[in-house]
Chain A
């Protein structure tokens, strides 16, 4: 007991006196039997976990498995639809994780997880052993939910919910929209990645249309009766887009208990459970979501399709040597945001390091902050502090909430939205 306490104290002290976590790149790595941690998935959760495990304990070997050579951030991807940011600016690579933090990077996919032997098999046939596995595979789509809509059809009617080529396809389709045309956004049911995302997307598409195709409009079809930051979004929509009037360029239609169940590709229409039919010149269909495929394949998901975890350590409820973080994990009531993924990853990194060193992890602290832009100079936010209460994650009473709806606040928050995005990237990947 005394030994691990002293070792951990020294490590924490070393980080504190180094002045910057980036200083850990200069630390000597030693020790004969180095613990091996494998991180699967190089998004905000996985990258942050890999970086911070190395910072908290540089004697641990960390390998990140990610097939893509660069990550395209979903945060800020809606900004590209309004021409506020070029899609290329969403790219972030893994150079710093490798060079500064000595994370070993393997550019491959995981084919299978052999949890009993604590071993991974990669798509190229190689295998890899781990002492602890951190799984951060992000989301997968439920392609069974909407008849006629699958991965292939999404190349015509993009979801753009994993930023990349789909985002660029959606940009091209909106630019080709006839004036007087209609963009139909089909929002997904809860829970899903980025709760305010569909509404920020609608705002920024409408902002672009207003300048280039003033007679076009955006319609949001929503299987939910309400949505994140609703009052603030609707206030902004009234201000810029005539929301609630016959001339509105944004319309929100709640189809609660009557979800979209079918795509009619030829007629560019979606049909609901009750047979209601909605058409659009551009169909942006965001399907229901669940944990990334490898999590289900490894038996780590529950009936809802997400990975239940012990929040104190982020360990899977189904395997004590596998930790799950980010969008794939069930951290409710913490929403599935990139900011929350970073926060969960740091709690996970501390727990992984402490468990490998045989010491109890400290009490976790989580924070979520989420900014959205309604227009380039109009930002809004929601925030919440979370901690454990009787073993469950709970918002701290009296804290958090949404931002003020005043001209001064929304102007400041627009700037902070950009600043927060830039630093979130930096904190996670650099």
Chain B
């Protein structure tokens, strides 16, 4: 059977695949923050802040509300490791 860590990684990969449609991985010249520039901890905090409207945004508040806190945390860890 899959380990819980591997399962979390697959879920994170499936969710994170959608983040990279708008956010570039590296060069930040597209006008949105590049994901590679941010640590897992900073990403986790930002995603939770968007979800609970502690941080303003045009779009991310609407998207972050679609995921559980745990999902946002594993996505942040996944993206932060890259």
A248 in the interface (beta carbon within 8 A)? no
Closest Cβ of chain A to B70, distance in Å, is 14
Task: Give chain B's interface residues, CB within 8 Å of chain A.
Answer: 1-3, 6-7, 9-11, 13-15, 17-18, 20-26, 30-32, 36, 58-59, 62-67, 78, 81-82
Cα–Cα, bound, A116→B58 (Å): 49
| Complex contact A419–B58 (CB within 8 A) | no
For A385, the chain B residues whose CB sits under 8 A away are 63, 65-67
The docked-state distance in angstroms from the alpha carbon of A289 to that of B61 is 34
Shortest beta-carbon distance, A163 to chain B, in Å? 19
Residues of A close to B62: CB separation below 8 A: 383, 399-401
The answer to whether B6 and A415 have CB atoms under 8 Å apart is no
A367 contacts B21, C-beta separation under 8 Å:
yes
B31's partner among A20, A383, A415 (CB-CB below 8 A) is: A415
Can you add 19 more A-B contacts, CB < 8 Å, to A20-B26, A369-B63? A5-B3, A9-B2, A12-B9, A15-B13, A16-B81, A17-B81, A346-B17, A362-B10, A365-B17, A385-B63, A385-B65, A398-B66, A400-B62, A401-B62, A403-B59, A415-B31, A419-B32, A420-B22, A424-B22
A363 at the interface (CB under 8 A from B): yes
Q: Is the CB of B21 within 8 A of A383?
A: no
Q: Does A278 sit at the interface, judged by CB under 8 A?
A: no
Q: Determine the residue in chain B with the shortest Cβ distance to A345.
A: B17
The answer to whether residues A19 and B22 also contact, given A385-B67, A418-B31 and a CB cut-off of 8 A, is no
Smallest CB gap from B19: residue in A: A367
Inter-subunit contact A419/B22 (CB<8 Å): yes
Q: Are A364 and B6 within 8 A (Cβ)?
A: no
Contact at A365–B6, with CB atoms within 8 Å?
no
**Is A342 engaged at the interface, CB distance under 8 Å to the other chain?**
yes
- Asked if A241 is at the interface of the complex by the 8 Å CB criterion, the answer is no
Q: Which residues of B contact A363 (CB under 8 A)?
A: 11, 14
State whether A5 touches B6 (Cβ < 8 A).
Answer: yes
B10 to chain A, nearest CB (A): 4
Given A419-B30, A423-B23, do A404 and B58 touch, yes or no (CB 8 Å)?
Answer: yes
Q: How far is the CA of A381 from the CA of B2 in the complex (A)?
A: 39
User: Which residues on A sit within 8 Å (CB–CB) of B64?
Assistant: 399
The reply to whether the CB of A412 lies closer than 8 angstroms to some CB of chain B is: yes
CA distance A411 to B62 in the complex (A): 18
A347 within 8 A of B: yes
Minimum CB–CB distance from A25 to chain B (whole Å) comes to: 14
Inter-subunit contact A409/B18 (CB<8 Å): no
Pair B31/A427 contact, Cβ less than 8 Å? no
Which residues of the other chain, A, contact B17 by a CB distance below 8 angstroms? 52, 343, 346-347, 350, 365
A172 within 8 A of B: no
Say yes or no for A306: interface residue by CB 8 A criterion. Answer: no
Give the CA-CA distance A401 to B59 in the complex, in Å.
Answer: 9
- Neighbouring B residues of A403 by C-beta, 8 Å: 58-59
Once bound together, how far apart are the Cα atoms of A347 and B66, in whole Å?
17
Cα of A9 to Cα of B12 in the assembled complex, Å: 13
- Cross-chain contact B25 with A339 (CB below 8 angstroms): no
